[in-house]
């Protein structure tokens, strides 16, 4: 039972254009969502997050949008740069009692930004 | 260092041998995760420790896999009688129990030959 789904295994965009990475979730208890970026041979690094009380969070070139009714979130990268080429993981967490934010990850989307 | 540290960074082992992977979380982080990523696959959850609560072992793929954590410090992931399908990068992450953001180590690349 995959609770966090990234249905596009890969995405290719031209430098300077917008990259849109999508993520769907099934668990309505999820209340916090995160995006991680992973380069080969490195661990994932945190990129941006959003709480379920918001529908948008922006940090520089990166914006995350949350549509709770559709259980869908997306990461927009504008403008895309070749250095953004990496695997992007969507993650979600739910308050499961006490101080407990267990993270559930999607399978990732490989973004390739072509010069 | 201030980050999550994993050792060894690379491990090659013969099929059937036992291996032990180590994770040193960020000091003060009460939550600790183990994930693995097989070639061409996504992050597969293995086990989650949070403070003194019973660990969530729901992701362990078989009884050959086990993990321990003493208090809020080091964790070890043990794989007994390794099989070739165990070959993967094993990632450890830690977080403050009150904050969802998890910080990952560099991973241990395990190759079973």
For residues B2-29, give the mean pLDDT: 96
CB A37 within 8 A of CB A95: no
Q: Name the helix (H) or strand (E) containing B89.
A: strand B88-95
CB of B74 within 8 Å of any CB in chain A? no
Q: Are B52 and B76 within 8 A, CB to CB?
A: no
- Closest-CA residue in chain B for A34? B101
- Does the structure show a pLDDT above 70 at A96? no
The answer to whether the Cβ–Cβ distance between A108 and B43 falls below 8 Å is yes
- Over residues A91-96, the mean pLDDT reads 80
Q: What percent of chain B has pLDDT over 90?
A: 73
User: Could you tell me the CA-to-CA distances from A50 to A53, A70, A73, B7, B62 in Å, in that order?
Assistant: 8, 16, 9, 32, 34
C-alpha to C-alpha distance for A13 and A79, rounded to whole angstroms: 10
Residue B72: pLDDT band with limits 50, 70, 90: confident
Average pLDDT score over chain B: 93
pLDDT of residue A100: 59
How many Cβ atoms from other residues are within 10 Å of residue A52's Cβ?
A: 16
User: Are the Cβ atoms of B101 and A49 closer than 8 angstroms?
Assistant: yes
Q: DSSP label at B56?
A: B
Segment A23-80, tens digit of pLDDT:
999 999 898 999 999 998 899 999 999 999 999 999 999 999 999 999 999 999 999 9
Q: What is the pLDDT of residues A66-90, one digit of tens each?
A: 999 999 999 999 999 999 999 999 9
Smallest Cβ distance to A42: which of B35, B97, B106? B106
The mean pLDDT value for B88-97 works out to 92
Task: Indicate the pLDDT class of residue B21, thresholds 50, 70 and 90.
Answer: very high
Please tell me the predicted confidence (pLDDT) of residue B15.
Answer: 97
| Cβ neighbours of B104 in A, within 8 Å | 36, 43-45
Instruction: Choose from A43, A47, A52, A64 for mutation: most chain B CBs within 10 A.
Output: A43
pLDDT-derived band of residue A1, with 50, 70 and 90 as boundaries? low
């Amino acid at each position: 039972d995959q609770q966090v789904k990234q249905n596009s295994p890969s995405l290719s965009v031209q430098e300077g254009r917008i990259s849109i990475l999508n993520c769907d979730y099934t668990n309505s208890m999820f209340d916090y969502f995160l995006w991680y970026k992973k380069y080969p041979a490195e661990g994932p690094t945190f990129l941006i997050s959003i709480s379920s009380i918001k529908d948008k969070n922006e940090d520089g070139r990166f914006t995350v949008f949350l549509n709770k009714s559709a259980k869908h979130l997306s990461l927009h990268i504008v403008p895309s740069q070749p250095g953004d080429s990496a695997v992007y993981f969507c993650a979600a967490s739910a308050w499961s009692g006490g101080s407990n934010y267990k993270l559930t990850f999607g399978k990732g989307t490989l973004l390739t930004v072509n010069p | 260092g201030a980050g999550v540290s994993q050792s060894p960074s690379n491990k090659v082992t013969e099929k059937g041998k036992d291996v032990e992977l180590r994770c040193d979380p960020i000091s003060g982080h009460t939550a600790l995760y183990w994930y693995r990523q097989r070639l061409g696959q996504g992050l597969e959850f293995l086990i989650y420790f949070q403070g003194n609560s019973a660990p969530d072992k729901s992701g362990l793929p078989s009884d050959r896999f086990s993990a321990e954590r003493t208090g809020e410090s080091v964790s070890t992931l043990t794989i007994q009688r390794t099989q070739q399908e165990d070959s993967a990068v094993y990632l450890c992450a830690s977080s403050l129990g009150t904050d969802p953001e998890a910080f990952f180590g560099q991973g241990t690349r395990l190759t079973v030959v």
